[in-house]
A and B are shown apart, each in its own frame.
Chain A
């Protein structure tokens, strides 16, 4: 069974740039997987940031961007702010109506 992989944790300095990735245990992520990204803070429901690889959801600051980098989907935060400290999840479409979330990345801003 294919697993969606993410870095368990990442750290970025305020104002810095960080790129989180979303890969597959077997194979490459492409736009055909319709990668999307969610942000979740403790005790809250998830919030969609990016859908279909690189489209920002309504109200999401433009410091968040999505792309394909090599064989992975990527979420880049440019000019990180303190309130970007959250858990970030990618989700991929696997076919036949099935989607799979990655394990999530805990981002620390310090």
Chain B
């Protein structure tokens, strides 16, 4: 059974940093691109970032570019999101996902769709 379990969320002050983790199991993590998607309270989904299989290629939404860094450790089956210079508008539930439409360059896996349950990040003083 595929499982994606996020951790690392919490309360942080504006300007602070936080690192999210996503532990993957039940599939060959090193074979698939991975993504982060967030959802502010009462709002819609927002794609944040995607990383290629090897980690050589990363993609970011304009809203987080230069502040957030996505990475992965294939030996630990873990995806990360380092979030710096946090703002109030970064407050959201952050989902880890292996979902085909979020990574255009791997057409053979467009059918895949796995999500974690999310971790809440609150940026407030």
Interface with A: B18-26, B76-84, B103-111, which one? B103-111
CA distance A97 to B104 in the complex (A): 6
Q: Are A46 and B100 in contact (CB under 8 A)?
A: no
Q: Are A96 and B44 in contact (CB under 8 A)?
A: no
Interface size class of B (residues with CB under 8 A): 20 to 34
Residue B46 at the chain A interface, CB threshold 8 Å: yes
A57 contacts which chain B residues (CB < 8 A)? 111, 113
Task: Closest A residue to B118 by CB, please name it.
Answer: A45
Interface with B: A10-18, A20-28, A47-55, A76-84, which one? A47-55
Task: Closest B residue to A37 by CB, please name it.
Answer: B101
Q: Are B111 and A34 in contact (CB under 8 A)?
A: no
A-B contact count (CB 8 A): 71
**Contacts A1-B62, A98-B61 known; A48 to B99 CB distance under 8 Å?**
yes
Interface size class of A (residues with CB under 8 A): 20 to 34
Q: Are A48 and B44 in contact (CB under 8 A)?
A: no
CA distance A52 to B47 in the complex (A): 17
Could you show 21 A-B contacts with beta carbons less than 8 Å apart? A1-B62, A36-B101, A38-B45, A40-B45, A45-B118, A46-B115, A47-B115, A48-B113, A51-B101, A52-B101, A55-B110, A55-B111, A91-B47, A97-B50, A97-B59, A97-B104, A97-B105, A99-B50, A99-B101, A103-B44, A104-B44
CA distance A91 to B61 in the complex (A): 13
